[in-house]
Amino acid sequence: MATKAAAKETPKTEVATVSNNLPATMDASMLAADAGIGREQMSITDMALPYLRILQSLSPQVKKSSPQRVDGAEEGDIFNTVTQELFASEDGINVIPCAFQKAWVEWAPRDSGGGWIASHSNDQILNHCNRNEQGFDVRKDNGNIIVPTFYYYVLMCKENGGFEPAIISMARTQMKVGRKWNSLMSSLQVMGPQGLFNPPMFAQKFHVTTEAVSNAKGEWCNWKLRATGLVDDAGLYQVAKKFAEQVRTGAVKARVDIAEGDDVDTHGDSGVF
């Protein structure tokens, strides 16, 4: 799973890159002996958990006039909001889904400045909303928009055998793909000593790409996924299990705000609010 920049051999001018290859004057055994020093009190809760997002035609990373433009970015690419890596739509990424959450996310409408307001843990907020002509649930008291959203906490698997925790969010028409994903994970059965059973979410692997879709409102890019089997590495399985437990206990939470890459212009189908 090479990044798009690596595949095209095109450097990104906006992002400083660091080579993973050791200089000739350095010895890998020296680094290995000091592995982890300086990060003793650092855990995943102290890091910015990236979002993996689909770039749309209006995404600032795609628009040539935008200061957030990323060299080589195209509609349909998968974008890592922390490392700013690009993954071409046809190449995709390999992930292990570890945990799932659903939230009712409150956004300010664009004509009032836009932006994330709050995340609600249940649908009771909808009792205070009216459905508008565009199909959005709008709060009666402040005019904010409530968007049901799926969050998948995943481990993104890398070509070198490494992995990176990340979040894939799905809202609006993306939730159709999310429901399919949920069904695939829930319906998988494996034969065990006591008969068939449904393995944990974090035991399953998927290849995730994007595809162009359309409806009466317009055209955009959506997620596409396929199951690729079960996790076959015991060490990676334990890492995925621990990540799932951190999400379950609340040690790891999705930060649903613009700073973390949850861009209202590309959130959901065509991103029109």
In a domain, 98, yes or no: yes
CA 107 to chain centre: 19
pTM here? 0.82
Asked if residue 23 is part of any domain, the answer here is: no
> Lowest-confidence range among 76-80, 105-109, 151-155?
105-109
Residue 17 counted as domain residue? no
Alpha-carbon torsion angle 64, 74, 56, 152, nearest 10: -130
Provide the number of structural domains found in the chain: 1
Closest to 260 in 3D by CA, of 178, 174, 168, 149: 168
Q: What is the mean pLDDT of the chain?
A: 84
Place 266 in a pLDDT band, splitting at 50, 70 and 90. Answer: very low
End-to-end Cα separation, the chain, in angstroms: 34
Contacts for 188-192 with beta carbons within 8 Å, 24 or more apart?
Answer: 188/227, 190/230
In a domain? residue 272 = no
pLDDT digits (tens, 9 = 90+) for 160-176: 888 999 999 999 889 99
Does 237 fall in a domain?
yes
Q: Is residue 181's pLDDT more than 90? A: yes
Beta strands in the chain (DSSP E): 52-54, 78-80, 86-87, 93-107, 116-120, 129-131, 137-139, 145-157, 163-171, 190-192, 195-197, 204-215, 218-230
43, amino acid identity: S
In a domain, 176, yes or no: yes
| 103-131 tens-digit pLDDT | 999 999 888 878 889 999 999 999 999 99
For residue 189, tell me if it sits in a domain: yes
- Which domain does 130 fall in, by range? 4-9+43-266
Q: Could you give the CA distance from residue 16 to residue 184 in angstroms, rounded to a whole number? A: 39
* Within a domain: 104: yes
Give the span between the Cα atoms of 77 and 62, in whole angstroms: 9
